[in-house]
Amino acid sequence: MPWLQRLSIAIYWLLCGWVFVPAAHATGGIQIHSAELRQVDDKYCLYAQIDVTLTSLLEDAVNRGVSLYFVTDFDFARPRWYWFPEQMAHITRVTRLSYNTLLRQYVVSGVDVRTRSVDSLGDALAILGRIDGWPVIARDRLSKIQDYRATLSMRLDTSELPKPLQINAIATGRWDLESAPLVWMMTL
Mean pLDDT of 158-162: 88
| Selection from 187, 123, 130, 124 nearest residue 154 by Cα | 130
Q: Taking phi first (over 0 means left), then psi (-120 to 50 degrees means alpha), and beta for anything else, what does residue 181 get?
A: beta
Residue 1 gets which letter from DSSP?
A: -
Is 97:120 a contact under the CB 8 Å cutoff?
A: no
Residue 32 pLDDT class (50, 70, 90 cuts): very high
Question: Using one digit for the tens of pLDDT, what is the confidence trace for 99-123?
Answer: 998 999 999 998 777 889 999 999 9
Mean confidence (pLDDT) of the chain: 85
| The pLDDT of residue 139 is above 80 | yes
Measured distance CA(188)–CA(156) in Å, rounded:
32
Measured distance CA(138)–CA(147) in Å, rounded:
16
- Return the domain boundaries, the chain: 27-177
